Amino acid sequence: MLRIDEALTLRKQDVNIMAGHVTLRKEIVKTRKGRTVPITKRTAKLMQELINETEDFDSD
């Protein structure tokens, strides 16, 4: 599970589609302890689509 602010500050390098997880950096986590959160295949697919759509904007 992610907090809203954690989800909004994710970067492309935080998402591992192949392994099916998201890494939350300690800088963005409220407790200041980084953690890895598993994601479903559907969520991974949607995140990959979002990453593909935003590649033209040169944004993380």
Report the largest interatomic distance among the alpha carbons of the chain, rounded to a whole angstrom.
34
pLDDT band at 14 (very low <50, low <70, confident <90, very high): very high
Q: What is the pLDDT of residues 30-44, one digit of tens each?
A: 888 999 999 999 999
Alpha-carbon separation of residue 39 from 12, 44, 45 (angstroms) = 15, 6, 10
Cα gap 59→13, rounded to integer Å: 12
pTM of the model: 0.77
User: C-alpha dihedral over 30, 36, 41, 44, to 10 degrees?
Assistant: 60
